[in-house]
Amino acid sequence: MKKHGKTGAEGSAARSPGPNAPRPRPAKSSALSRGLRRRWVRGSVLIVAAALAVVIFAFSLFIHSYYYSTVSTGLESKAKTATDFFSNYVARSYAEYYDSAFRYTETFIDGDKLELQFMDTSGRVVISSFGVTAGTQASSPEVVQAVKSGKISPWIGRRASTNERVMAVAAPIMFSDGQVIGVMRYITSLTVVDRQVTMSILAVSGAGAVVLLLVLSMILLFIRSVIAPVGEITKMSRRIADGSYGIQIENTFNDEMGEMVDSINEMSMKIAQAERIKTEFISSVSHELRTPLTAITGWGETLIYNETLDSDTSGGIAIILKEARRLTKMVEELLEFTRMEDGRFTLNIETVDLAAELEDAMFTYLELFHHDALELHYEPAPDDETPTLPGDPNRLKQVFLNIFDNAAKYGSEGRRIDVSIETRGDFAAVIIRDFGPGAPEDELENLKMKFYKGSNSKTRGSGIGLAVCDEIIRYHGGRLELENAEGGGLRVTVWLPLTNAATLGELT
């Protein structure tokens, strides 16, 4: 069975999508929308809520002060009028003061709202409109203060007998010479006032909550009108970032959002054009290099077997051959890359003995390993578990050769390479590990990107070997994993499905 280009790859991907193909990222986009909405709502609502809290607090202070000052002013005015009358016309002796107080209390018309008390200078209640408090001793400080200062003194607190919140106003009654003869005291319950203050504050708080809900609703409506297009633009931008160069976002906006969409569309087109020019250039240069490299390699192989050449000349020709072969390999990788980019990549699928292809690749590199003093440790699968699978043997061998080449170049310091085959469910795994320095954790996934070379790499190369391997394995419905092994070195695992029905979801 033969698969051509990306059409064949996409047919394979329908059964088992490659792990590195552009994937939809709804979770990330959704999280982005939620995060943007959360920040926007938090910032706006907190400001409005803080402003409303300040307004409600200020109103609470005002309403509390207003009600209490109104009651206090009324009591003080009433007390001043009564005490002035007593001082000027009635209280000429203590007996007269007592007699007048008794008569005044009997005719007191506000007894349903206020308690009227007359006290002596020690604070003992002499006469009370309620009667039950007569003879008791006042414990609140305003009486003493009124006697000492000769001025009206208010007090707010709790009545000791009932624990009820009350307001009291104590006004001194004086002889004409200024001597205090007694104290008139008005007491009123604050239950109704406190209820009014509480109801007013609750009403304002309810109004504030309604305002906050209205503001929140308007903010959410506005955010929805912004988040939806931002989410769509983010999704399309992600597709462009994942390699879908040239796609265009439909622009239905005539504001700053529209300008952003136009900029992204222009960027997408320019990236697509640059990618196309780059691919065409690489393909053209690679084809142009093949002819002289073939001639150099051919003549080098002819000359090196000429027995008339001296040792220095033979060594020079050997170097020429080595470098020509290295350049030829780079050219082949570049050509493979351009075929994948423009859809001319092919797979010839047949039943493959995975172990045989791996061992052929190892045999090809065995002499190079010996030359570099690298020990090769191979752990084959048991005979009854030797995996066979659908695949392109030449492409798979190309993958193994590339991985061995990387292991020899970047892991030579470890002087050892471990190779093994295992099966897991419907998948076979080829594991190749070197004992070199490995790669920084944040660069592992980037190593499969085309033209990427690790920051620690000092070895020459095109930087597309692993990218080509990753594409080949992805077209087979498998996965190429790179990780730093425990104890040092890079471990490369090639996962391949044993059947066409196997899916990567089984590799969890």
CATH number at residue 386: 3.30.565.10
Of 134, 167, 191, the last residue of a domain is 191
Distances (CA, A) of 260 to 11, 40, 48, 246, 420: 36, 20, 30, 16, 52
Question: Does residue 429 contact residue 495 with C-beta atoms inside 8 Å?
Answer: yes
In a domain, 450, yes or no: yes
CATH number of the domain where residue 100 is located: 3.30.450.20
Query: What's the full length of the chain, in residues?
Result: 508
Enclosing H/E stretch for 502: none
Residues 388 and 475 placed together within one structural domain of the fold: yes
| Sheet order of strands, 125-128 included | 125-128, 114-119, 180-189, 165-174, 153-158
pTM greater than 0.85 (yes/no): no
Domain identity same for 386 and 507: yes
Single out the residue in 167, 191, 215 at which a domain terminates.
Answer: 191
Identify the pLDDT of residue 206: 92
Residue 233 falls inside a structural domain: no
454, 356: one domain: yes
Q: Verify that 356 and 491 share a domain, yes or no.
A: yes
**To 5 degrees, how large is the angle CA 316–CA 319–CA 322?**
155
pLDDT in tens, the chain (508 residues): 444 443 333 333 333 333 333 334 444 445 555 666 677 777 778 888 888 899 999 999 999 999 999 999 999 999 888 888 877 776 567 777 788 888 888 888 888 888 898 888 888 888 888 876 667 888 888 888 998 888 999 999 988 778 889 999 999 988 777 788 888 999 999 988 999 999 999 999 999 999 988 888 887 787 777 777 777 787 888 887 777 777 888 887 787 778 888 888 888 888 888 877 777 776 677 667 777 888 888 888 888 877 777 878 888 888 888 788 778 877 777 777 776 666 666 778 899 999 888 988 888 878 777 777 788 888 887 766 778 899 988 889 888 988 888 888 877 777 888 999 988 888 999 999 988 888 888 777 778 776 666 655 555 555 677 888 888 898 889 999 998 888 888 899 999 998 865 544 444 4
In a domain, 415, yes or no: yes
Residues 468 and 360 in one domain: yes
Token pair for 327: 């350049």
- Domain co-membership, 403 together with 491: yes
Token pair recorded at residue 420? 């093994």
* Torsion angle in degrees (nearest 10) through CA of 205, 210, 216, 217: 170
Residues 364, 505, single domain; the answer is yes
Residue 354 shares a structural domain with residue 500: yes
Residue 277 lies in a domain: no
Note whether residue 252 is domain-resident.
Answer: no
Task: Judge if 98 and 12 occupy the same domain.
Answer: no
Structure token digits, residue 28: 């990330």
Determine the structural domain holding residue 116 and report its residue range: 90-191
Query: 107 in a domain, yes or no?
Result: yes
Last residue of a domain, one of 170, 191, 212: 191
| Cα separation, 376 vs 137, whole angstroms | 107
* Tokens read off for 507: 């590799």
**Tokens 């052929």 — which residue?**
360
Asked if the structure places residue 292 within a domain, the reply is no
The pLDDT value recorded for residue 506 is 44
Give 124's DSSP letter.
Answer: B
Tell me: do 500 and 357 sit in the same domain: yes
**Residues 9, 154 within the same domain:** no
- Domain assignment present for residue 151? The answer is yes
Rounded Cα gap, residues 242 and 20, in angstroms: 9
CB pairs under 8 A, 24+ apart, for 377-380?
Answer: 377/416, 377/417, 377/418, 377/419, 378/419, 378/420, 379/418, 379/419, 379/420, 379/421, 380/355, 380/420, 380/421
Residues 472 and 380 placed together within one structural domain of the fold: yes
pLDDT of 227: 72
- pLDDT tens digit string along 217-273? 887 787 777 777 777 787 888 887 777 777 888 887 787 778 888 888 888 888 888
What is the total count of domains within the chain? 2
